[in-house]
Amino acid sequence: MEENQFTSLTVPSDYFQQYQSSQQYPEVQHVAPYPSMDRYTEGPMDEPVMTELSVHRDPVLYQEPFYQLGPFYPPTPVKKKRGRPPKQQTEDGETHEEEDEVEAAKKAKRALNRFNGMSVADVMAKTLPDVITYNLDILIIGINPGLLSAYKGHHYPNPGNHFKCLFLSGLTDQQLNYMHDQSLPEKYSIGFTNMVERTTPGSKDLSKEIREGGRQLLEKLQKYKPLIAAFNGKIYEIFCKETFGVKAKNLEFGLQPYKIPETETVCYLMPSSSPRCAQFPRAQDKVHFYIKLKELRDQMKGLAPGHEVVETQYSFDLQLAKDAKRIAIKEEQLDP
């Protein structure tokens, strides 16, 4: 049968060794055919059985060697920007107006809850009456009423306010809160007033009316004639420029060199009682100035000899501070 003509194929030994070497060294891509195998036949076949016998392998791609030119430095992490993330924009470049409306509705609801259903505009329409009478020992002067003060009708109702220094310095014989402000003139000869009567969310919302408020404050001081006009914060700088025509530079806390015209009222500058006061963030940092205020009052009234106030040594108890902070947080939750 023609099908059984080729039963075996004999390969020369030299070529077989050459084939084995190509397996051991794969970088050899092609092995040249053995020269005597051009027409190798077996039997009566006249056609060439094998014209070329090659070992075909996939070519090895050449790769550039990796050279480390210097020390390896890890990539510098990108510093995240602080603050609120930018608003995401849609493909058309429009901001998510629906999300903005929801956020605005939440803010409005919080404002209503804060003032028991009253809007901010309604609270701003309210005014805060002065706590004042004639011939007070100390008249404490603020810049203008805040929203919470106007809503509650009392001076400095924020639970974090540092008017506890009145008690810590000995100006009062018991710890008081904002509900006692009306009783201060009669019991301790201390009163409250503001340079500007208009209620605003913050002092930055005031404009030229500060100057007009300074003139009105001067008339009020000349009328009621307190012994000491104690300025709560650096609003004295504006008052000094408008009243005395002097631009105060490098203001220092304590007794000031000018008196109110046509009176014997002296001016005293003390740090702001707000807990946001960056220079004196804690109440214990401000007690010293209240002690000096008490010493000045006693000296002017002839109750104590004039002498320099001795620096007070303060101790700090971490556990008491934590307890006070926890109580303040509870008070803010109950009375935001």
Contact 277, 239 (CB under 8 A): no
Amino acid at the residue 16? F
Q: Does the annotation count 144 as an active-site position?
A: yes
Alpha-carbon distance values, 292 to 91, 156, 250, 253 (Å): 64, 22, 20, 10
Which fold is adopted by the domain 127-309+318-334? Uracil-DNA Glycosylase, subunit E (3.40.470)
List the chain residues with pLDDT less than 70.
1-74, 80-81, 83-96, 108-112, 304-318, 320-321, 324-325, 327-336
Query: 56, 96, 135, 144: which is the annotated catalytic residue?
Result: 144
Domain with CATH 3.40.470.10 in the chain: 127-309+318-334
Residue-level pLDDT at 28? 46
Q: What are the CA-CA distances from residue 310 to residues 229, 289, 292, 305, 307 (Å)?
A: 23, 11, 9, 14, 9
Distances (CA, A) of 138 to 82, 122, 293: 44, 32, 9
- CA dihedral sign of residues 82, 204, 283, 160: negative
Q: Considering just the CA atoms, what is the radius of gyration of the chain in Å?
A: 45
CA distances from 202 to 27, 145, 146, 310, 316 (A): 82, 9, 6, 36, 32
Which amino acid is present at 221?
L
pLDDT recorded at residue 10: 55
| pTM for the full predicted model | 0.60
The angle formed by the CA atoms of residues 162, 154 and 110, to the nearest 5 degrees, is 85
Amino acid at 288: H
Distance CA 177, CA 155 (A): 10
Q: What is the pLDDT of residue 274?
A: 84
Q: Choose, from 155, 158, 232, 288, the residue flagged as catalytic.
A: 155
In this predicted structure, what is the pLDDT of residue 155? 93
pLDDT of residue 294: 94
pLDDT at 311: 53
Neighbours of 291 (CB within 10 A): 19
Residue 161 appears among annotated catalytic residues: no
Query: What is the 3-state secondary structure of 23-82?
Result: HHCCCCCCCCCCHHHCCCCCCCCCCCCCCCCCCCCCCCCCCCCCCCCCCCCCCCCCCCCC
